Copies of this chain bind each other. A is one copy, B any other.
């Protein structure tokens, strides 16, 4: 049955949003189109009225995640007065609630491993997600802009992503908590110290 004008676009957006959640929750490969369409309130047959393949949905969903998650976290951080914003962002990222809710969380932490195995067109979303985080840090704290600042920001992002991946991967609840806490403390301490400016990186590169 034909749908009212504009509803097709809304349905399409709903499929993408549902996929963005299920992919982060269960993984891309482990998520079937049948269950996905049911979760979106549809039957599987209609999928190809909106996407030409699962691969296309994967790309669009990953792009959606890259474009929405970080900016939502930034918005919440910006409810705080300016000098506290970056700390609030770091605490929110490295929280146990983020760890326990991958379906609404950082795409790199939830899907970074799978993204590394995808073709280049999908890995562009990885670049986008990473750059969104870098831009967010720069927007929240001016010390993280400029070449040196961006280098520091990349280390902060790596630490946050790795702490989240590790905290989810380990079975030991105490260890999981310690990983998040130590990363939080370390990042916040480095921000507060007056000599937080990084010297220029060295040239040594080992293959």
Contact = CB atoms under 8 A, between A and B. Distances in A.
Contacts of A95: 206-207
Given A162-B161, A182-B201, A207-B96, A169 B102 contact: no
Overall SS of chain A's interface = helix
Nearest to A99: B116
Interface residues of A, number: 65
A126 B162 contact: no
Interface stretch (A11-19, A25-33, A36-44, A70-78): A25-33
B181 A201 contact: yes
Contact of A183 (B111, B126, B154, B177): B154
Contacts of A181: 201, 205
Interface string A99-127: 00010000011111111110010011011
Nearest to A102: B116
A25 B114 CA distance: 10
Contacts of A124: 171
Given A127-B172, A161-B162, 5 more contacts: A27-B29, A95-B206, A97-B207, A113-B114, A113-B169
Interface of A: 25-27, 29-30, 91-92, 95-97, 102, 108-117, 120, 123-124, 126-127, 129-131, 151-152, 154-155, 157-166, 168-172, 175, 177-179, 181-183, 185-186, 189, 198-199, 201-202, 205-207
